[in-house]
Amino acid sequence: MFDIEASLDTRLLAESRNRPTVMFPEALDARTLEAACFLGRFIRPVFLAPEAEVRALAARALGHLGSDRVAYTLAESAFVSPDSRPDLVEAFAAACLDWCQVHERPMSLDVARAMVSEPGRFGIWAVKLGHADMVVGGAIHEPKAFFRPMVDLLAQRSVTCEAGVFVLPDEHPEEVYPHNIVVFGDVGVNATMTPRILAEVAVGTCAVARDLIPEEVLPEIRCAMVSYSNRGSDEGPSPELVRQAADLVPEILAERIQHAERYRSIQIRGEVKVNVALSRRSADLYHAEGMPWEGAPNVIVCPNLDMGNLLYNLYATRFPDARKFPVMFGLLFQGVDLPMDCTPEDIRLAVKASVLRLHHYGQWKRSPKDTFFRRHRVLVLNPGSTSTRTSIFEGDEERFTEELQHPAEALKAFEGRPITAQFAFRKEAVLGFLSDHGLALSDLDAVSARGGLLRPIPHGTWKVDRAMLEDLKSGGRGEHASNLGALIAAELVAGTGKPAYIVDPVVVDEAEPKVKVSGLKELPRRVISHALNQIATARRYAEERETFYERINVIVAHMGGGITVGAHRKGRYVDVNNGLDGEGPFSPQRSGSLPPGQLIDLCFSGKYTRAELKLLNKGRGGLMDLLGTSDLREVERRAESGDAEARLVFEALAYQVAKAIAALVPAFDGEPMDAILLTGGMARSARLVGELRRLTAALGCPVQVYPGENEMAALAKGALRVLSGREAARDYPPSP
């Protein structure tokens, strides 16, 4: 049986990281709440009920889901009782009166207030007026209390339709419907029936099928418009009406094809008898009747509401294991109507399908208003040696980004001076970036910067304060461009009342004392790593599983110019190699751990100066020293062309990373590991990833790949967690 949910999940994750706001008026229905607990990666849920009541229902009815999933969903959600938002009730009531006046349905203000205070209509009006993107209901609301108002208020076209999508189990004879997939289109949503309405319904239903079923599964969408009787439209479209509709199909379908080429695979045939459309011998019968395709249809446009409902319920009853869900056409993806006998699986499939179509059309970018999930505007700064990466985030969405280059001639004035001398110069470049995008400092909610070489601190988001600035200005723990981040951030927000933060700097240290003991008392291990990307990658893995960083055990291998391999145990970064000093696997530019005795001899051989040895350790070591290149892609090309030395070095690199991963097993104190996560630029190498999967297979946990670095998003999210109240900012320096 085709796994339509896995297909929807894969495509949704590929479409967009921005999540639409979805209203759930039936928040106290256990089926609806359970479905929402599987949707956190794709939507921002708004439950129209008091938070305490929703949490009580979850505790009472959703124990079988596990506490992590439920807790994660509720942490990602908003809770709104209509009576707690009189401002919205008044706005919705006023809009309701205006709508009623236009449609000649007189109503008093008190009646309008009472009407829009009902959760179903409150949710519909929230979408209508741009406070949310989609409303989901019908599981406990009668049609006249939800479906009809939803269609009346949200319809964007003169024709609407509800399609029922079925993926039938393997026990159903596949020769009836290819791959046991069938989509029923119901003409009964429309009050009247004309040839154009019927043609629009047929094309719209086929578009639903094409949007949701990949072409590799159903290369063609074949639609049969069923004719019902010769007695007119009281019982359904007559053969003559269907013939007229079929004549209009090419024109309407051509408009769809102009929008997207994928609709070219749609074929529609009219005037098909019910017994032919539903027959086991439909493929032969279609061929005998001169159909323009070989095989059976996969879309059937039902002649009336009764037959549409009958077929939907008949297949649902006969095949309880079928995957089934409704999809509305004509509402611009803003509404989901649920059958009253729906299951939690039906609900989540219906929502995922509608969200996918919302993304698929390319018309939706973000919620019109941020009424329920405020989009805080955060300036993100990431200073490097010759540039300052700068971005503006509005919520999770990166709106503008630029790498502000600092030419060598401009930096020459700062030669021989502490790195902190550059902060005013770089601040002016950042102000220019803001000005170029029409923004002032007053438009920001916060500035979030890459942290520098500070005292060892736990992970988290840290307030930039006087003590932090003094440590950075002194440079006592080292000179590095990242020291500029907090300095620039503090200067920008000075006098504005806006906060400045740093997030997970390289000095994050949560290792236990035993981890830092070496064989020489004078040389305890130091913890310096790619903490920002390490922790961001672990958080991303947790979010994808709808749980928290604090509830997972993962090993993260950051593989870039330097390589750090870290153990993350239940929200603590408990062990990692010091990649800055060259500890651990060799990398494109770093030597990695070296044999101590031989290193001592080399240091005193007179062959190299101290500076030259430092450069070999970091800058000219690793792949640069071994093969003369820091580009892993070049190493792979040489290995594939028969270069034995390149092949050996590539295998050694993979082996050392795998060995570093395996060496961290004791860091979990006997607890099982959830996954190994590969990130950084070298994680783009399919060959390296394949080798690491093979070499670590004995650990018995999956390997997930997150190529590249997501530092800007990680810095923004750290600030957003604080601004949204999900995390408290830490005070520097940490308490002893």
Both structure tokens of 287: 């061929």
The string of pLDDT tens digits covering residues 673-693 is 999 999 999 999 999 999 999
Dist CA 305 CA 12 (whole Å): 31
Which helix (H) or strand (E) is 405 found in, with range?
A: strand 397-405
How far is residue 88 CA from its own chain's centroid?
A: 29
Tell me the average pLDDT across 317-321.
Answer: 85
Burial class of 226 by CB neighbour count within 10 A (0 to 12, 13 to 18, 19+):
buried
Q: How confident is the model at residue 308 (pLDDT cuts 50, 70, 90)?
A: low
The string of pLDDT tens digits covering residues 450-486 is 999 999 999 999 999 999 999 999 888 888 888 999 9
**Residue 112 and residue 97 in contact, taking contact as beta carbons nearer than 8 Å:** yes
Average pLDDT, rounded, for the chain: 90
Strands 675-680 and 78-79: unpaired
Both structure tokens of 707: 């190529």
The string of pLDDT tens digits covering residues 486-508 is 999 999 999 899 999 999 999 99
pLDDT of residue 412: 86
Across 47-51, 115-119, 450-454, least confident range: 450-454
Does position 279 have pLDDT exceeding 90, yes or no?
no
Side-chain-side CA neighbours of 414 within 13 Å: the count stands at 17
Tell me the average pLDDT across 349-357.
Answer: 96
**All domains of the chain in start order, with CATH:** 19-154 (3.40.50.10950), 161-330 (3.40.50.10750), 374-508 (3.30.420.40), 531-708 (3.30.420.40)
Maximum pairwise Cα distance, the chain:
104
Tell me the average pLDDT across 13-36.
Answer: 92
Tell me the average pLDDT across 64-73.
Answer: 92
Across 140-154, 273-287, 514-528, 721-735, least confident range: 273-287
